[in-house]
Homo-oligomer: A and B are copies of this chain.
Amino acid sequence: MGTRRTSEPSEEPSEGPSEGPSDEPGVLTIGELATHVGVTVRAIRHYHQRGLLAEPSRDGSGYRRYGARAVADLIRIKTLADAGVPLARVHQLLTSGPEAFARAVGEIDQALQDRIAEFEHRRRQLAGLMAGERLVLAAEVVELLDRMSALGVSDRTITLERDGWTLLMALAPESVAKWAAEKAAALTDPDFQQIYLDWEEAYDWDPNDPRLAALAAHAAAYLEHPAVPLPDPDPGLAAANALLAAQLAAGSPAWRRLEELVRDQAGSPAF
């Protein structure tokens, strides 16, 4: 209410703008405006540069002086900008009619809702990061790896398997579930289990180890009469498989030798 010496501005019927509410002489400095609305001084200058906020009149020192209109305008700008609206779009909205404005605000609100959902999804992704890489792989693959672990397959081999399946997820995601199911079925066959565990043990052997021949013969015989039928050729995936085989074979000289031996004994380019 001020005092007898200073007019409380709304004690009287309020004194008003000279021409319109848009360009009344200013009272607030740029710093006062900034702290009140909650933006930086630099941001306000930036909005002037971009033409978003009208340049106010200056006082005797060349300082910008802002009125009530600037407060309202800046709040509008900040609200839209905080909602993620690009400044170019903010400019359009400020100069467009109320119907277009209302429609746009509806869309912006929807976008905000979408971003909230997105962030909630990212929280779950983060939780997955901590839980390991399981979410990278299909559930069927995770189950397969768990079953291998139970069979006594070493951590090193599990890692190799996981890497292979990770790449398959990238190369042929639509086939991964089917392949994993087939491999899981094969692993129920004790014969295949034995071959798998024998090969694992051979990983570190010398490629000239005489025991490799027996392993290769066993594998070749199995491939002739598999317990679980092998599916038909899929030419589109042949290239991906070949690449994977070449990459993965690089790990162990003994395995490379085993593949040669199987290829020879099976009489066909089995691998």
Residues of A within 8 A of B (CB): 1-18, 21, 24-28, 32-33, 36, 67-69, 71-72, 75-76, 79-80, 82-83, 102, 105, 108-109, 112-113, 115-116, 119-120, 122-123, 125-130, 133, 136, 153, 156-157, 159-171, 173, 178-179, 182-183, 186, 195-197, 199-200, 203, 219, 223, 230-234, 237-238, 240-252, 255-256, 258-259, 268-271
A162 to B16 alpha-carbon distance, docked (Å): 10
By a CB distance below 8 angstroms, the chain B residues around A153 are 13
By a CB distance below 8 angstroms, the chain B residues around A270 are 4-5, 7
A24 touches B130 (CB 8 A): no
Give which listed residue, B15, B27, B76, B249, contacts A167 with CB less than 8 A.
B27
A249 to B210 alpha-carbon distance, docked (Å): 106
- Nearest CB to that of A25 among chain B residues? B247
A197 to B67 alpha-carbon distance, docked (Å): 25
By a CB distance below 8 angstroms, the chain B residues around A183 are 1, 8, 10-11
Q: List 27 A-B contacts (CB under 8 A).
A: A4-B223, A4-B233, A5-B270, A12-B219, A14-B164, A15-B251, A15-B255, A16-B157, A16-B250, A17-B251, A27-B167, A32-B171, A36-B173, A68-B162, A68-B167, A71-B136, A72-B133, A72-B136, A75-B136, A79-B122, A79-B126, A79-B129, A80-B129, A109-B126, A112-B126, A116-B120, A119-B119
Give which listed residue, B68, B240, B242, B245, contacts A164 with CB less than 8 A.
B68
Given contacts A16-B251, A156-B16, whether A1 and B179 have CB atoms under 8 Å apart is yes
Identical copies of this chain, number: 2
Give which listed residue, B36, B157, B241, B256, contacts A8 with CB less than 8 A.
B241
Give which listed residue, B5, B28, B243, B250, contacts A17 with CB less than 8 A.
B250
A6 touches B237 (CB 8 A): yes
A216 to B123 alpha-carbon distance, docked (Å): 67
- Nearest CB to that of A186 among chain B residues? B11
A234 touches B3 (CB 8 A): yes
- Nearest CB to that of A202 among chain B residues? B13
By a CB distance below 8 angstroms, the chain B residues around A4 are 223, 230, 233, 268, 270
A68 to B160 alpha-carbon distance, docked (Å): 9
- Nearest CB to that of A263 among chain B residues? B7
A119 touches B122 (CB 8 A): no
By a CB distance below 8 angstroms, the chain B residues around A113 are 123
